[in-house]
Structure formats: structure tokens, C-alpha cells
Structure 1
Amino acid sequence: MFIHLDLDCFFASCERFRNPSLIGKRVVVGGRGDPFIFDPKPAQAKKLVTLNSGAFVPSLFHADHDAGNYFKDGNTIRGIVTTASYEARAYGVKTGMSIHQALKLCPDLILIPPDHLLYHTLSHQLMEYLATVVPVMEQYSIDEMFGDLRGWVEEEDTESFIKNLQQQITKEFKLPVSIGASSSKWIAKLATSAAKPYGTRVVHQHQIESFVNPIPIDDFPGVGKAFSAKMNRYGIKTIGDAWKSDILFHSWGHAGKELYARLTGTDNESIHPSRSRKGIGMSRSMDHPVKERSELFRRIHVMVRHWSHTIMKLGVNPTTYSFSLGYERWESSKKQYTVYRLFNESFLQNFAIEKFKELDLYPHLPVCFIAMSATKFIHHDPKTFNILEYENDSKMRSLTDAVTKMREKYGLDIMRGGGEL
């Protein structure tokens, strides 16, 4: 059997772990996308953590916030809800909602700025513990894990095993968790959803069809907007409807066949103990759109410095870079480039600024969104580096290595480029 663990209201639970007086109260952990990164004053309290990943969890963040002012921008309340306790959810507060709207629904919410270092650390400690009691574990996100019990726990003992595991996690970490189990990892994930909050659910193979039959197709993990729209056109509203449409799914090629196998619990997909990271991205939305291009490119310089530091710390060499700008009137501009260069910060700064200038198709419009990402690492797609640039890139790489070590020791703002001034 496969098991799936989902830490209930994880960020809020972590805050309760640190401050038990929050237990039973209407708590929201919110975020603002780190607008503080562009502050011209150097900041010491920045951290880079690469232990985990997941929704709303950046690898680079400020470690300390002024809780009283974090959500305030003058007289305006900023930010979105990243986690709401069940007590807050009872008022209609939910993930992705603006803090402003959440306060309208529940004026006495306890608002807490994010402490991602705490969340990363507790998640990592939990994974280390789970590795001692389950032979094969997969970190799916910062608050979700898969485990493989085959050959370790007999199927008839699965229910007692996961209930005991749930109790042990609560005892050791003070973190509420829901656990689902089934012969398919994706059905196990659905079982966890059915078990929430703080429950357990085992779905045996002969029970899968009746269990998934009424579940809306959009609730199945991995069903994106495109597939959802396609299925809706054929009247497929539930997973039960999908089970009856095998010929249709098989006509959609490999992706359709793969999805059908997952929906029916016949995918035989295994647990992946470690996942190779496929990309490193960074983006920022601006509370106040930026009109002056000198300020826009100063901010791009700042973001590239942080982005470069993350790439260096993860020890990868990207070959494909994507850049995008979002404008105030919903216009956007984006493009992708492939270059085979030995990675270094000097190259990335020059390359990014050049490409963002080309991307700025609407120079009269204020910019409200900047994004950049790096993919196709050289160890995934081996190619020869640009030989004409290799000697200089090697020198710049050595310099970048030295700067990375300095920033690790003294803070990310200890050395900044002239373009940020």
C-alpha cells in the first residue's frame, strides 16, 4: 500500500507549535511576495533554504518581519492568505484570498507574517523522522509526503499502522496530520482529502471505484485547466464519468492514457525518494506599479543577484532562461532563450538586463510584475559550452564562487552591483 500524508493547516500549525496560545484561535498566516527585497538599505535577515519546496514557499526570503506593520502599506492592507486555521475557515477565510477580504469576513483574525525558515525546518525534521519508520519516502511538497509500505506492512495492518503513525507525529512534533492509504499513490492522496481534518482513511483496491465515483474530476491531482475543459466538453464531470470513457482517454495519446491509469488506480507509479530539481524561478508583483525605467532596471538587478545566488547554492548550470514583464493594463511580454555558457553572475546580470530591455514593449506603461526562471540544467541536457566565452566565464565563475561564500557568511546584501544603486 502507498500512503499520503498532508499536514493540516501547516503554516498555522507551525506557529502553534511555537506559540501554543494560538491553539483554538482564528489564525491566518499571510504573505506579500517579499516586497522588501527592493529596499535600498542592506538587510542582514535574508535566508536561503533548499531543504523543501512547495506552494507559497520560496527558497529565498527575509527571516524577520515586523508583525505589526508587515501587512500595512500606508493605510492599505496588503497580502494574501497562505494558510488559514480551521477556526478561520469557518468564517469563509481560505487560501489565496486577500488579507483585506479575510478581515472583512472575520475582523478579529490573528494575522501572522510568514516564517519560512521555521516551516522548512519542521518539514525537514519530520521527513527525517519518517525515514526511520517507513522504508521509502517522497517529499511531494513542504507539507505533503508519500510513503511506500509494500513489503513492510501487511495490507490488513495498514489502518492500524497509519493511525499509530498519526499519533506519533502529533506526539513528537505537535503537528496535526491526515493520512490516506491505497494501492495507488494518487488514490491515496484522494483518501487523505476525504480524511481531513486530522483523520485517516484506507481505500483498498476493490473499494477504489465506489470511492472515486462521486468525486469531481477537477479535484483529482494533476488535472489542469486544459484537460478539465476538454473533459467538460464530453460531459465528464466526475471521476466515475471518466472511468466509463476509457476509449476517449486513450484517443488523447500518452497524456490521456497516463491520466486514465491514475484515475482508475492502475498507474503502478512508484515513490520517488528524491526529485531532481528541474528549474529555479523568481518573480515579484509590485504593490505600486513601476513607471520609471531606471527604477525598473534597478529592481531587475536586485532580483538577478538573488536569483544568481540561489542557482549557485543549488550547484546547477542552466542553459535555458525565461523572462517576462506584466504591465498595469494587463499587457504582458515574455520570451525564452537558450545559451550554453558556464554559469556566473556577471554573465547573468548582463544577459538578463539586455533581454528585459528587449522585452519592454510598452515603455509608456507601468510594470507590475517581473519574472525570471532558469531550466534545462547541463546535467539533464549535456552540451558543449560556448568555447569563445569559456575562458572569461571560467574567471567570472571563480569570482562568483568567492562572492557566494562571502554572501553566505555576511548576508546577501554584503556585495551588490552598481546597477542596484
Structure 2
Amino acid sequence: MIIHLDLDAFFASCERLRNPSLLGKRIVVGGRGDPFIFDRKPSSAKKLVTLNSGAFVPSLFHAPHDASHYFNDGDKIRGIVTTASYEARAFGVKTGMSIHEALRRCPNLILIPPDHLLYHTLSHELMEYLSTVIPVMEQYSIDEMFGDLSGWIEEEETESFIKHLQEQIMIQFKLPVSIGASSSKWIAKLATSTAKPYGTRVVHQHEIEAFVNNIPIEEFPGVGKAFSQKMGQYGIRTIGNAWKSETLINSWGRGGRDLYGRLTGNDHEPIQPSRSRKGIGMSRSMDHPVKERNELFRRISVMVRHWSHTIMKLGVNPTTYSFSLGYENWGSSKKQFTVYRLFNESFLQHFAHEKFKELDLYPHIPIRYIAMSATKFLHHDHKTLDILEYETDTKMRSLTDAVTKMREKYGMDIVRGGGEL
């Protein structure tokens, strides 16, 4: 059997662990996409962690801020809900909602700025513990894990095992968790969603069809908006409907065949103890769109510095770079480039500035969004590096290595480029 663990309202649970007076209260942990990254004043509070990943979880973040200032932008309330306690959810507050709307629905909400270092640390410690009691574990996201009990726990003992595991996690970590189990990863994950909060659910192979029959298709893990809409056009509104549409779904190519296997519990997807990272991205939305291009490119320099540091920390060498600018009420401009260079920060700064200038098709319209990502690492796509630039890149790579170590020791802002001043 495969089990899926989902920490209940994880960020809120972490805050309650630190501050027990929050127990039973309507609380929200919210985020603003790090509005402080572009501060001109150097900060020693920036941290970078690459232990975990997941929705709303940046690898770079500041230390906690006073909530009274964190969510305020003049006379406006900024930010979105990243986690709501179940007490707050009873009032319709949910993940992705604006803080302004959350306060409208639940005026007595307690707003808490995120402490991602705490969340990363607790998630990592829990994963370390789970690896001692379950032979094969997969970290799916910062608050979700899969485990393979095959050859370790007899199927008929699964329910008692996961209930005991749930109790032990509460005793040792004071973190509530829901656990689902089945012969398939994705049916196990679906079982967890029906067990929340703080519940367990085992779905045996012969029970899968009855279990999924009336569940809306959009609630199945991995069924995105496009697939859900496509299925709706054919009258497929529940997972049970999908089971009866094998020929149709399989006709949609490999994606359709893989999806049908997951829907029926016949995907046979194994637990992945380590997952190969395919890309590294960074993006920022502006509370106040930026019109001055000098300020825009100063912010691009800041972002490239942090982006470069993350790439160096993960020890990869990208070959494909994507850049995007979003205009205020005017769409966006984006493009992808491939270049075979030995990675270093100096190269990336010059390259990014050059390409963003090419992308800026409407220089008089304010920018509301900046995004950049790196993919196709050399260990995935072996090619010969540019020999004409190799000597220079090797020297700059050594410099980047040294700067990375300094930032690790003294903080991200210890070395900044001239373009940021």
C-alpha cells in the first residue's frame, strides 16, 4: 500500500506550535510575494532554503515581520491568504483569497506574516523522522509526503499503522496530519482529501470504483482546468463518468492515457525518494507598477542576483532561459533563449538585462510583473559549452563561487551589483 500524508493547515499549525494561544482562533497566514526584496537598504534578514518546495513557498524570504506593517501599504491592505485555520474556513476564508476579502468575511481574523524558515525546518524534521519508520518516502511538497509500505506493513494492518503514525506525529511534533492509503499514489492522495481534517482513510483495490464514483472530476489530483473543461464538454463531471469513458480519454494521447490510469488506480507510479528538479524560476508582482525604466532594471538586477544565488546553491548549469514582462492593463511580452555557457552571475546579469531590453516593447507603459526562469540543465541535455567564452566564464564562475559562499555566511545583501544602486 501507498500512503499520502497532508499536514492540516500546515502554516497555521506551525504558528500555533510557536504560540499556543492561537489554538482555536480564526487565524490566517498571508503572503505578499516578498515586497521587501527591492529595498535599497541592505538587509541581513534574508534567508534562502532549498530543502523543500511547494505552492506559496519561496526559496528566498525575509525573517518574520510585524503583522501591523507587513500587510499594510499606505491605506490599503495587501497580500493573499496562504493558509487559513479551519475556524477561519468556516467563514468562507480560503487559500488564494485576498487578505482584504478575508477580513471582509471574517472581521476578527488574526493576521500572521509568514515565517518560511520555520515551515521549511519543521517539514524537513518531520521528513527525517518519517524516513526512519517507513523505508521509502517521497517529499511531494512542503506539507505533503508519500510513503511506500510494500513489504513492510501487511495490507490488513494499514489502517492501524497510519492511525498510530498520525498519533506519533502529533505527540512528537504537535502537528495535525491527515493520512490516506491505497494501492495507487493518486487514489491515496484523494483518500486524504476526504479524511481531512485530522482523519485517516484506507481505500483497498476492490473499493476504489465505489469510492471515486460520485467525486467531481475537478477534485482529482492533477486534473487541471483545461482537462476538466474538456471532460465537461463530453458530460464527464464525476470520476465515475470518466471510468466509463476509457476509449475517449485514451484517444487524447499519452496525457489522456496516463490520466485514465490514475483515475482508475492503475497508474503503477512508484514512490520517488528524490525528484530531479527541472527548472528554477523567480517572479515578482508589483503593488505599484513601475514606469521608470532605470528603476525597472534596478529591480531586475536585484532579482537576477537572488536567482543566480539559487542556481549556484543547487549546483546546476542551465542552458535555456525564459523572461517575461507584464504591463499594466496591456498584456505581456515573453521569450525563451538557449545559450551554452558555463553558468556564472556576471554572464546572467548581462544576458538578462540585454534580453529584458529586447522584451520591453512598450517602454512608456508601467510594468506590473517580472518573471525569469532557467531550465534544461546540462546533466539533462549534454551539449558543448561555448569554447570562445569558456576561459572568461571559468574565471567568473570562480568569482561567483566565492560570492555565493560570502552570501551564505553573511546574508544575501553582503555583495550587491552596481546596477542595484
1:333 aligns with 2:333: yes
**TM-score, scaled relative to structure 1:** 0.99
Superposition deviation, residue 202 in structure 1: 0.4
Q: Distance in 2 between matches of 1:277 and 1:119?
A: 21
Q: Distance in 1 between matches of 2:338 and 2:66?
A: 41
- Residue 38 of structure 1 is matched in structure 2 by 38
Cα offsets for 1:270-292 (capped at 9, x unmatched): 00001111111000000000000
Which secondary structure does the structure 1 equivalent of 2:70 belong to? Answer: coil
Cα offsets for 1:69-90 (capped at 9, x unmatched): 0000111100000000000001
Q: Distance in 1 between matches of 2:414 and 2:151?
A: 52
Superposition deviation, residue 372 in structure 1: 0.3
- Residue 236 of structure 1 is matched in structure 2 by 236
Q: Distance in 2 between matches of 1:330 and 1:186?
A: 39
- Residue 200 of structure 1 is matched in structure 2 by 200
Superposition deviation, residue 198 in structure 1: 0.5
Superposition deviation, residue 65 in structure 1: 1.4
Q: Distance in 2 between matches of 1:406 and 1:197?
A: 44
Q: Counterpart of 2:335 in structure 1: which amino acid?
A: K
Superposition deviation, residue 66 in structure 1: 2.3
Q: Distance in 2 between matches of 1:173 and 1:102?
A: 29
- Residue 163 of structure 1 is matched in structure 2 by 163
Cα offsets for 1:12-44 (capped at 9, x unmatched): 000011111111000100000001000000000
Q: Distance in 1 between matches of 2:388 and 2:329?
A: 42
Superposition deviation, residue 407 in structure 1: 1.0
Q: Distance in 2 between matches of 1:207 and 1:411?
A: 53
- Alignment map for 1:373-392 (pairs within 5 Å): 373-392=373-392
Superposition deviation, residue 67 in structure 1: 2.4
Superposition deviation, residue 250 in structure 1: 1.5
How many residue pairs end up in the alignment? 421
Superposition deviation, residue 224 in structure 1: 1.5
Q: Counterpart of 1:171 in structure 2: which amino acid?
A: I
- Alignment map for 1:227-306 (pairs within 5 Å): 227-306=227-306
User: What runs of 5+ residues in structure 1 fail to find an aligned partner?
Assistant: none
Q: Distance in 1 between matches of 2:309 and 2:48?
A: 9
Q: Distance in 2 between matches of 1:225 and 1:101?
A: 24
Cα offsets for 1:251-282 (capped at 9, x unmatched): 11111111100000011110000111111100
- Residue 352 of structure 1 is matched in structure 2 by 352
Q: CA RMSD in A?
A: 0.7
Q: Distance in 1 between matches of 2:65 and 2:39?
A: 14
% identical aligned pairs:
83
- Residue 26 of structure 2 is matched in structure 1 by 26
Q: Distance in 1 between matches of 2:240 and 2:66?
A: 49
Structure 1 residue ranges, 4+ long, deviating more than 2 angstroms after superposition: none
Which secondary structure does the structure 2 equivalent of 1:211 belong to? Answer: helix
- Alignment map for 1:73-152 (pairs within 5 Å): 73-152=73-152
Cα offsets for 1:386-408 (capped at 9, x unmatched): 01110000000001011111111
Superposition deviation, residue 109 in structure 1: 0.6
Which secondary structure does the structure 2 equivalent of 1:413 belong to? Answer: helix
Q: Counterpart of 2:378 in structure 1: which amino acid?
A: I
**TM-score, scaled relative to structure 2:** 0.99
Deviates more, 1:63-72 or 1:300-309: 63-72
Cα offsets for 1:273-324 (capped at 9, x unmatched): 0111111100000000000001000000000001001111111100110000
Superposition deviation, residue 226 in structure 1: 2.1
- Residue 343 of structure 1 is matched in structure 2 by 343
